[in-house]
A and B are shown apart, each in its own frame.
Chain A
Amino acid sequence: MTEPILLEVREVSRSFGKFQALRQVSLKIRTGRLCALIGPNGAGKTTFYNVVSGRYRPTGGRVFFEGQDITHAPAHRRVEMGLLRSFQITNIFPALTVLENVLVPLVVQHGKSFACLGSIARRRDMAEEAEQILSRVGLTGQSHRVVSTLAYGDKRLIEIAIVLARRPRLVLLDEPTAGMNPEETDRMIRLIRELSERSETTFFITEHDMKVVFSVAERIFVLNQGSLLADGTPEEIRANPEVKRAYLGGSLDAAGR
């Protein structure tokens, strides 16, 4: 496989006081391949995302995005380069309408962050673009509802729509199905798979639900106690004795649900 490398993480470490959350983790994500990051609770998955997305600085190692060193770039610079993320706990704009939630990233996308005199209501182009994005994630006809009144599953879809509005190259999805009922989970998985196949966007997800991971991921990375334990296709991961010992075999319940 010779797709270009989108994200490269080189020996990244992160500690909080004496606690080592990440220990020299190295991995590469190639364009167009849906990858997943798994590991037991506390393995360092979210810390890893925070380091890659610019929320935390690593205490060691480097992060490259499309060949550029972004180790010290602030979060908003990484977004400009096309690196977006979602959060484990839904992170949207609760008191704004569905449409406004998607307009916020579009304002930035169109370079209008400091346009302070023209009316946003007159920007038909942005509103239409927002509607298109909303229909891509399956949220139509609710544009003028305040987001806090939506069902939980729909709120998580809003976050996907917010992320897509920035036309990302790579999206880190932190447990996109967390807290969802089976129906909502199915809908989310179908959406991620569809977006991954049809768009220019590469997805990298963390997930608790092993069923989800093994059904969507083309490549799986396993974190355990801050270190990368394994890296391979779903079949390889399933057959890996170390992974079985650390994770799948021993405490499937803690890992699955």
Chain B
Amino acid sequence: MRFRARGDVVPVLLILLALIAAPFFLSIYGLIVLTEILTMSLFALSFNLLFGYTGLLSFGQAGFFGAGAYFAVLTLIHGPGSLWAALAAAVIGSAVLAAVIGWLCVRLDEIYFAILTLGFGMMLFTIAHNWRSVTGGSDGLGNFTLPGLNLFGHDISLFHPVSFYFLVLLIAALGALLLWRVVGSPFGLLLRGTRENSLRVSFVGANVRAVRLFAFILAGALAGLAGALFAFFNRIASPEMLHWSFSGKAVLMTILGGSGVFLGPAAGAAIFFVLEHVITAYTTNWMIFLGAILVVLVLAFPGGVLGSLLDRLTRGRKGPPA
């Protein structure tokens, strides 16, 4: 079975334990890289709800990621200076935006859907880039302070990399858990059915557009959440976050890790950022080397790195697939 909605629980718990223990054995630099990986994992996982599970290739996912960043930062600057309010604004704002844009996009599929999402992504980028009075233009919005968290009477400053890491870990894990429940639900089965054969799904009585739109909204909301974390992480919301090339990153990470495995996109994010950090330490021509390594990886692991490895493992255990 190529698509595993439900992986084994034990390895997932082990990964989670390792992530919780990470601040005790990683350097601060390592922890910062891991924070970025977790944020981008949530972004890539949200993208894969559309790509891997629903069969829709979105080139506009960064639009919701970036919109979430702006919604969160604008809430911090102009609204209540609460972290939770900012995160809620990111989720709700991107969900509403995804509902409006998705309503138009889900009318088509395949390349037409990809082009529509690309077009809307470009429009969102332009809004972020040119609406200076609100978005700060090409400079972005950086003049905000990250509020602290009040936990059991203790004020926790998120300026400390360890406390910020735990916040990101908590939110990314909750986001992943939500997505996991979605793909294993009756609705998740309809998504996979739509991916396999949308005609048949509408001829068993489901409204394919509504099904796709709901997936689009969920994916947009979680991308917005990831974008808010990314803006907190970088202390800035900037137009590049909405650029279509940023959407391309989600595509790349997902295919690299494997769109057919639930955690494939997260594995892809990890490989991508570790490679990027390692290579940029040695050369300014890092894109050539990163590109070359990605080409080799994609050729060597056609189902994605995690996808192919898991395939090999299960084959070893259960014999060749029937």
In the complex, which of the residues B185, B197, B210, B321 contacts A120, with contact meaning CB atoms closer than 8 Å? B185
State whether A118 touches B196 (Cβ < 8 A).
no
Closest to A123 in B: B186
Would you give the 0/1 interface string for A86-116, flagging 1 where the beta carbon is closer than 8 Å to chain B? 0100011111110010011101111011111
State whether A119 touches B184 (Cβ < 8 A).
yes
**What is the bound-complex CA distance between A55 and B199, given in angstroms?**
9
Query: Given A80-B205, A104-B189, is A113 in contact with B211 using a C-beta cutoff of 8 Å?
Result: yes
A contact residues around B206 at 8 Å (CB): 76, 108, 113
**What is the bound-complex CA distance between A149 and B2, given in angstroms?**
13
B130 near A: Cβ within 8 Å?
no
Query: Given A91-B199, A146-B322, is A96 in contact with B184 using a C-beta cutoff of 8 Å?
Result: no
**What is the bound-complex CA distance between A76 and B188, given in angstroms?**
19
State whether B204 touches A165 (Cβ < 8 A).
yes
State whether A104 touches B193 (Cβ < 8 A).
yes
A53 near B: Cβ within 8 Å?
yes
Closest 4 CB pairs of A and B: A79-B205, A105-B204, A116-B187, A93-B196
**What is the bound-complex CA distance between A92 and B204, given in angstroms?**
11
Most chain-B CB neighbours within 10 Å: which of A104, A110, A115?
A: A104
Closest to A116 in B: B187
Closest to A114 in B: B187
Can you identify 22 A-B contacts, CB atoms within 8 angstroms? A76-B203, A79-B204, A80-B205, A84-B203, A87-B199, A92-B200, A100-B192, A104-B189, A104-B190, A104-B201, A113-B186, A114-B187, A116-B182, A117-B181, A117-B182, A120-B185, A121-B6, A145-B322, A146-B322, A149-B322, A163-B204, A166-B204
Q: How far is the CB of A176 from chain B (nearest CB, A)?
A: 15
B contact residues around A22 at 8 Å (CB): none
In the complex, which of the residues A76, A100, A117 contacts B207, with contact meaning CB atoms closer than 8 Å? A76
In the complex, which of the residues A85, A95, A115, A149 contacts B196, with contact meaning CB atoms closer than 8 Å? A95
A contact residues around B182 at 8 Å (CB): 116-117
**What is the bound-complex CA distance between A95 and B225, given in angstroms?**
31
B64 near A: Cβ within 8 Å?
no
B contact residues around A163 at 8 Å (CB): 204
State whether A85 touches B203 (Cβ < 8 A).
yes
Query: Given A76-B207, A95-B3, A113-B206, is A120 in contact with B189 using a C-beta cutoff of 8 Å?
Result: yes
The binding surface of chain B is classed by DSSP as helix
**What is the bound-complex CA distance between A74 and B182, given in angstroms?**
27
In the complex, which of the residues B6, B185, B196, B321 contacts A117, with contact meaning CB atoms closer than 8 Å? B185
Chain A residues within 8 Å of chain B by Cβ, number: 43
A139 near B: Cβ within 8 Å?
no
**What is the bound-complex CA distance between A118 and B210, given in angstroms?**
19
A162 near B: Cβ within 8 Å?
yes
B202 near A: Cβ within 8 Å?
yes
A6 near B: Cβ within 8 Å?
no
Query: Given A104-B204, A121-B6, A146-B322, is A96 in contact with B186 using a C-beta cutoff of 8 Å?
Result: no
B113 near A: Cβ within 8 Å?
no
Query: Given A120-B185, A120-B189, A123-B186, is A91 in contact with B205 using a C-beta cutoff of 8 Å?
Result: no
B contact residues around A55 at 8 Å (CB): 203
B59 near A: Cβ within 8 Å?
no
B292 near A: Cβ within 8 Å?
no
State whether B197 touches A93 (Cβ < 8 A).
yes
**What is the bound-complex CA distance between A136 and B106, given in angstroms?**
36
**What is the bound-complex CA distance between A235 and B188, given in angstroms?**
50
B1 near A: Cβ within 8 Å?
yes
A75 near B: Cβ within 8 Å?
yes
Closest to A142 in B: B322
